[in-house]
Amino acid sequence: MMNADILIIGAGISGATLAERYASIGKKVLVLEKRGHIAGNCYDEYDENGILVSKYGAHLFHTNDDGVWEYVQRFAEWYPWEHEVIARVDDKTVPIPVNINTVNILFGENITTEEEMKAWLDKNRIPFDVPKNGEEAVLNRVGPVLYEKMFKHYTKKQWDKYPEELNASVLERIPVRFNHDGRYFSDTHQALPKGGYTKIFENMLNHPNITVMLNTDYFDVKDQCEGFEKLFYTGPIDRFFEFKDEMMEKLEYRSINFVTEHLDQEYFQENSVVNYPGQEVDYTRIIEYKHFGNQKSAKTSIVKEYTVDTGEPYYPVPNERNQQIYEKYKEKADQLQNVYFVGRLANYKYFNMDQAFRNALDLFNSIEASNLKPHEK
């Protein structure tokens, strides 16, 4: 029989945050993790070329949330890192998000000022007051030519859906810039943890009140899990219920097939992330990890990302239909006593890392508000 006050399913951001918080108020916490490692999809390790690589795709931390920024700094030393992405389009290399350089390079323009950029966009964009889907969101911002070149096929590769089949919010993650700013994000805090993300999770979970069981799928052992005050579940919400109600529809998730190549050359490409928004290749992007933190080594490792239907779920697929299915699961989830669904997969939301921390912290604070001393709130 497994014993603790708090049972947490999953050792990613949400699970580790709740474990750390509950341990800090004296609760005994048991974390069950299906995989053979902690850190969820943030997991990173040094590879055979001595390069720190993320096993499940690049993770770039950025936030405007001072509370989350303060929290994550407790578990790692961070160094400033402003992420940039470039895209190969029509044999040219351009910045993404779209900025003045993107337009100049692709269309041979000679824009120099914000006013000229806005005028160019006004001439090209198709305005929508409230974009109803991803296609309208992009047309509204940059118009049909850039839509076709940079967004339509990338999105099809990424989601197996065209932008019109997705919520506007998915495509609105990427802004358009009226200047030369080549940064992918514009948040106040943009940084990477020294030595990688996994260390953060080690530090969060390294507490005498916390036990982590790896390679343990909750659904294999749940009959042995009894007597917990609270259960926090961070896996896919439909998986939690599919054993009870076969009539419920499955939610869609996208997974990624990461294809790694170790190359006997110093560099493969000029930037950490190069997107391929066209139809000429099946992958969405190539990541060359040594660029993160300017790591030095004689060799390099690159990863091509192919998004696929099956495998570990990484992305919820935000559209109307999935939202409706999710709401049905949520109704069932809300009826359960002392069982909480938290995180990207359990809330079926396309959270960024900082939002995942924020949600877990807010959940803890709202449940435990009455037990906390004022300085802990």
Residues lying near ligand UDP in the complex (CB under 6 A): 87, 96, 150-151, 154-155, 158, 170-171, 173-174, 275, 277
**Amino acid residing at 89:** V
Of residues 197 and 364, the one with the C-beta less far from ligand UDP: 197
Of residues 21 and 291, the one with the C-beta less far from ligand UDP: 291
For 3, other C-beta atoms within 10 Å of its C-beta total 13
Question: Does the CA dihedral 18-318-283-121 come out positive or negative?
Answer: negative
Of residues 209 and 347, the one with the C-beta less far from ligand UDP: 347
**Amino acid residing at 116:** E
Of residues 49 and 169, the one with the C-beta less far from ligand UDP: 169
Of residues 86 and 363, the one with the C-beta less far from ligand UDP: 86
CB of 267 to ligand UDP, least distance (A): 21
CB of 371 to ligand UDP, least distance (A): 36
CB of 260 to ligand UDP, least distance (A): 18
In this structure, are residues 47 and 376 in contact, taking their beta carbons and an 8 Å threshold?
no
CB of 165 to ligand UDP, least distance (A): 11
Q: Which of 56, 372, 34 is nearest to 15 (CA)?
A: 34
Report the alpha-carbon distance of residue 246 to residue 243 in Å, rounded.
Answer: 7
Report the alpha-carbon distance of residue 247 to residue 215 in Å, rounded.
Answer: 29
Of residues 28 and 161, the one with the C-beta less far from ligand UDP: 161
Q: Which helix (H) or strand (E) is 263 found in, with range?
A: strand 253-263
CB of 85 to ligand UDP, least distance (A): 7
Report the alpha-carbon distance of residue 133 to residue 203 in Å, rounded.
Answer: 41
Q: Name the burial class of residue 291, with classes exposed (0-12), middle (13-18) and buried (19+) by CB atoms within 10 angstroms of its CB.
A: buried
CB of 275 to ligand UDP, least distance (A): 4
CA distances (Å), origin 351, targets 167, 267, 308, 345: 14, 32, 20, 9
